[in-house]
Chains A and B, each alone.
Chain A
Amino acid sequence: MTSPTLYFDDIEIGDDIGPIERAVTHPQALDFIAVWTGDDRPTRFSDRDTAVSEGLAGPIVPGIMTMAFISSLLTEWAPGGKLAMLDVVFRQVVLHDVQHTLSGIVTDKADDRPEIQCDVFLQDPQGTRLIIGKAALELPAKGDL
């Protein structure tokens, strides 16, 4: 991104990030799996019957795909920002074709570099946090810290 629009200097602890809505459709999940593994054998990620046989309600979104969406939550909120770290806990499965909400909150700002710390969440329509995590984002600064 060549035109940073959100600077480290403009951010306060407690600022909200997002929310954005994401629903991973079944075809989108299959596209991702093709990039990830290149394997079209049925798995819990791609096939309803397989997922149900494993006790799941339906096929689930791969954890690393949800991480990519959380990454985009942060980089869309702060164009020009660089994701230095993302650390997530997969608390519950994320199902295909369900509208999920991704959001975050700024929890800290570094004193010696233009980096912020955030808590991030992915929740289902009932408000259950299926994924929780922490992230560090480097941002452009207007001047020396």
Chain B
Amino acid sequence: MTTDEDIRFDKDMLGVDHDAGVFQAARERMTAFALATSQTDPIYLDDEKGAEAGYGGIIAPPTFCNLFTGAVARPDIGLQFGDLSFHAGQAIENRSPVRPGDTLTARTRLKEVYPKTGRSGKMVFEVWETTFTNQRGETAATVRESFVHRSKTQP
């Protein structure tokens, strides 16, 4: 069994906010994302329909901020466990619609690191939470990403 004490990483990183980049919500990227994921609701594609829905024009589909997470700058936490990593899960909470031209400032923090034992043996989960805030100071979305680390060969 793996305990919290067995996991070696920089524990001072826990809960500390870091600048993680500034991202532009370009209109072309928003509509391309909608079309590439078959989300054809007119509020994503037609300014007139978006305005009728009360948004003043088109908005991005609900999981749009996920696109930015791959480019979020994260500090190295020095985690020493296993030699395989996988994307284990992701969560997004939407607060304010993303509009074309929005500038989204990302802040990220290490939320938790914890062990678990599954059918494939010992694992360690590394969880990051990133908040995207627009130029009006509104939180657009919070994204939580979970990564699992384990060894290729288990005892």
The chain A residues found within 8 Å of chain B, CB to CB, are 1-2, 22, 28, 31-32, 34-37, 63-65, 67-69, 71-72, 75, 79, 82-90
**A2 B49 Cβ-Cβ under 8 A:** yes
Interface of B: prevailing SS: mixed
- Nearest-CB residue, chain A, relative to B34: A68
Can you list 24 A-B contacts with CB-CB less than 8 angstroms, sorted by A residue number? A1-B41, A2-B53, A28-B36, A31-B32, A32-B36, A32-B37, A35-B29, A35-B32, A36-B67, A37-B70, A63-B87, A64-B69, A67-B90, A68-B61, A68-B63, A71-B62, A71-B63, A75-B39, A79-B41, A83-B62, A84-B93, A87-B90, A87-B92, A90-B87
Please indicate the chain A residues that have their CB under 8 angstroms from the CB of B69 in the complex: 64
Partner of A2, one of B52, B62, B90, B144: B52
The chain B residues found within 8 Å of chain A, CB to CB, are 29, 32-33, 35-39, 41-43, 49, 52-53, 61-63, 66-67, 69-70, 86-94, 144
Please indicate the chain B residues that have their CB under 8 angstroms from the CB of A63 in the complex: 87, 90
Please indicate the chain A residues that have their CB under 8 angstroms from the CB of B29 in the complex: 35
